[in-house]
């Protein structure tokens, strides 16, 4: 995993509408960059819907939410439309950002070993450095945990 204080690796990937989006487009804003395994799976859907429900709270803090998986642009568009997701989903089939952020790992499930995305979240500060690393996050609490962290940081 990348570490707090490191410069966040820049990338350019297509969003759910096929538009090219770069991390550097959001310089000067705080970014929640979350990596997830697959559109329309139970955990990923719960995670995305939790971010959607908390979206206004993120927006009020001027925080950009970006989800990344290796699903296609078309898959992302269907996922966004089905669940009315108000934030950016980026398609990374070549694992450019997924490997850049070191979330492509060996996973064991039902005794089988395969490579896949480990659900992880990075909070990137306005200056482009990694502010917080959240490995192996829980889909149901990820958005709320980030909001709690942002509140604590504001008060601290």
Domain contains 65:
yes
Catalytic residue among 8, 32, 44, 123: 44
Domain contains 87:
yes
Confidence of residue 154 (pLDDT cuts 50, 70, 90): confident
Look at residue 109 in the predicted model and tell me its pLDDT.
Answer: 78
Domain contains 75:
yes
Q: What is the mean pLDDT of residues 88-95?
A: 98
CB 101 within 8 A of CB 32: no
* pLDDT tens digits for range 36-73: 999 999 999 999 999 999 999 999 999 999 999 999 99
CATH number of the domain enclosing 77: 3.40.30.10
Residue 127 has pLDDT above 90, yes or no: yes
What is the residue range of 49's domain?
A: 26-155
Angle, CA of 118, 12 and 16, to the nearest 5°: 75
CB 67 within 8 A of CB 34: yes
CA distance 33 to 89: 10
Structure tokens at 86: 């108000």
Which phi and psi angles does 129 have, rounded to 5°?
-100, 155
Residue 49 annotated to the active site: no
Q: How many domains does the chain have?
A: 1
């Amino acid at each position: 995993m990348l570490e707090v204080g490191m410069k966040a690796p820049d990338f350019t990937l297509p969003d759910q509408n096929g538009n090219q989006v770069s991390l550097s487009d959001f310089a000067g804003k705080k970014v929640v960059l979350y990596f997830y395994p697959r559109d329309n799976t139970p955990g990923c859907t719960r995670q995305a819907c939790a971010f959607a429900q908390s979206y206004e709270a993120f927006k009020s803090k001027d925080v950009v939410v970006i989800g990344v998986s290796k699903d296609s642009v078309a898959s992302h568009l269907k996922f966004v439309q089905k669940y009315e997701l108000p934030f950016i989903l980026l398609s990374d089939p070549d694992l450019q950002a997924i490997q850049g952020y070191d979330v492509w790992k060996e996973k064991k499930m039902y005794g089988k070993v395969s490579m896949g995305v480990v659900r992880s979240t990075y909070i990137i500060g306005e200056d482009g450095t990694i502010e917080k690393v959240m490995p192996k996050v829980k889909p149901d609490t990820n958005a709320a945990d980030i909001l709690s962290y942002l509140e604590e940081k504001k008060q601290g």
